[in-house]
Amino acid sequence: MNFQRINALTKKELKKTFREPAVLFMIFLFPIVFVLTFGIAFGGLGSTQPVYDIGVINLDSANSSGSAQMFIDALSNITLLHVNVYSDNQTAQNDLEQGKVQAVIIIPATFSQSLSSYYASPNNPKCWMNTTLLLYLDRGSIVATQVISPIVKKVLTSFLNQQAAPSPVNVQIASLIETRQLSAFEFMAPGMFTFASIFLIMMIAQSFTQDRENGMLKRIRTTPITSTEFMTSQIIAYMLIALIQAILVFAAIHLIGFKPQISIPAYLIAFTLVILFSLSNVGFGLITATVSRTSSAATGISFLFVLPQLFLGTFVGTSLSSAAQDACKFVPSYYVTDALTSIFLRKASIGSPAILLDFAITTISSIAVLAVGIILFKKYLKT
């Protein structure tokens, strides 16, 4: 193995990818456009005026001053909010869990008293009677978690006719209630990574058949590079491309609002999975290139590997029949998507058996597919 030769060829492959507009589009732009389009369609982003349903429980309704009611009216006046008044906490919490409201605000019984104490001596915090406005948020709606709390705080501030803190009423986010309701987009997010990577099969098959058609492969074969060095350089190049691709997809998903709160090791595992998966795509690409006579044939034949992986192993497969779900077990992408779902959505710990199993299957299947691809293509190189 000569590192200089591998390096030279790896560089060339990367330059090719970054300089050919068609390749650049297919590998990088297409997944990003796809994620953004899906995000806008299913993620609750992009509708010009989203409206959040919030529930309010007024524990201060007995007070004659009506301050609490005025605060509720102030909230109702915000066009972004649709206020539902609940009489008991249980119903409100149930609706929150089912996603009918995105937040529940509990106005404490001491709300009016606290306000009165504030109005009596606005400049002397020592005389205030402090109280707490409890805010429960739907964690499943990520946009809501980030939007509602600031809105409530703002309404409160202007309601108190006050420029800035301190304030007698502090808003406390009670607890992030985990609800079952994930947005369609979040549900799809893990599959987006696999989705993007699958198209490497097509790019690799095309790249190799093109080089063969225009005689470049033959030209390379007149130099001392060995087939092992050749293969190594291609694998390194496409692993790097897969990594860049995964980072871009991640950035796009992040932009849409999917921000999984997971540990650094969990991220590392997730990216390692995607990189491992790219190896199997290199393998499938090589297999396709070996059996295809022309680059256009390669495009067609690559779909034999692309489509099953797409439909059975990414977000596309989330609503499949049970028979189809059995078929999923035969495509590598399924295990990657499953592991990513466990990590990102189910918040499973990275040492959990489910993730370890997916990881093992992904590793073994990727190496096996890659090995077959290399053996076939090496034979091909020699003839």
CA distances from 305 to 154, 277, 292, 298 (A): 53, 13, 13, 11
Query: Is residue 148 part of the contact set for another protein (CB under 8 A)?
Result: no
**Which one of residues 37, 119, 221, 360 is an interface residue with another protein (CB under 8 A)?**
221
Tell me how far the alpha carbon of residue 383 is from its chain's centroid.
45
Cα-based angle 28, 207, 301 (whole degrees, multiple of 5): 95
Cα distance between residue 155 and residue 171, in whole Å: 11
Residue of 222, 319, 321, 322 that binds another protein (CB under 8 A): 222
Angle made by CA atoms 278, 282, 283, in degrees to the nearest 5: 115
The count of chain residues that interact with another protein, using the rule CB under 8 A, is: 24
Three-state DSSP class for residue 54: strand
Of 195 and 230, which CB lies nearer to another protein in the complex structure? Answer: 230
* Residue 259 near another protein by CB under 8 A: no
Query: Which part of the chain contacts another protein (CB under 8 A), choosing from 72-80, 107-115, 209-217, 342-350?
Result: 209-217
Q: Which stretch binds another protein (CB under 8 A): 93-101, 176-184, 214-222, 350-358?
A: 214-222
Residues with Cβ within 8 Å of residue 313, at least 6 apart in sequence: 191, 194, 198, 328, 331, 332, 333, 334, 335, 336, 337
**Beta carbon of residue 30, minimum distance to another protein (angstroms, whole number):** 19
Name the residue with tokens 């074969």.
221
Residues 6+ apart with CB under 8 A from 68: 58, 60, 61, 107, 111, 112
Q: How far is the CB of 379 from another protein (least distance, A)?
A: 13
Question: Does 12 sit near another protein (CB under 8 A)?
Answer: yes
Nearer to another protein (CB atom), residue 49 or residue 222: 222
Are the CB atoms for 151 and 81 separated by under 8 Å? yes
Core vs surface per residue 66-77: b (16+ CB within 10 A) or e: ebbbebbeebbe
- Between 2 and 170, whose beta carbon lies closer to another protein? 2
Nearer Cβ to another protein (154/221): 221
Contact between 378 and another protein by CB under 8 A: the answer reads: no
Cα–Cα dist 228/110, whole Å = 76
Q: How remote is the C-alpha of 176 from its chain's centroid?
A: 20
Q: Which stretch binds another protein (CB under 8 A): 1-9, 49-57, 71-79, 106-114?
A: 1-9
Q: Does 293 bind another protein (CB under 8 A)?
A: no
8, 78, 177, 182: residue in contact with another protein (rule CB under 8 A): 8
Binding mask 15-34 for another protein (x = CB under 8 A): xx--xx--------------
Nearest to 135 by CA among 113, 116, 163, 154: 154
Instruction: Compare residues 8 and 129 and give the one whose CB is closer to another protein.
Output: 8
Residue closer to another protein (CB basis): 215 or 351: 215
Q: Residue 261 or 383: which CB sits closer to another protein?
A: 383
Q: Is 7 in the site for another protein (CB under 8 A)?
A: yes
- Cα–Cα distance between 288 and 295 in angstroms, integer? 10
* Residue 224 interacting with another protein (CB under 8 A): yes
Looking at 76, 226, 299, 363, which residue binds another protein (CB under 8 A)?
226
Q: Which of 215, 323, 351, 353 binds another protein (CB under 8 A)?
A: 215
Give the residues lining the site for another protein (CB under 8 A): 2, 4-5, 7-9, 11-12, 15-16, 19-20, 214-216, 218-226
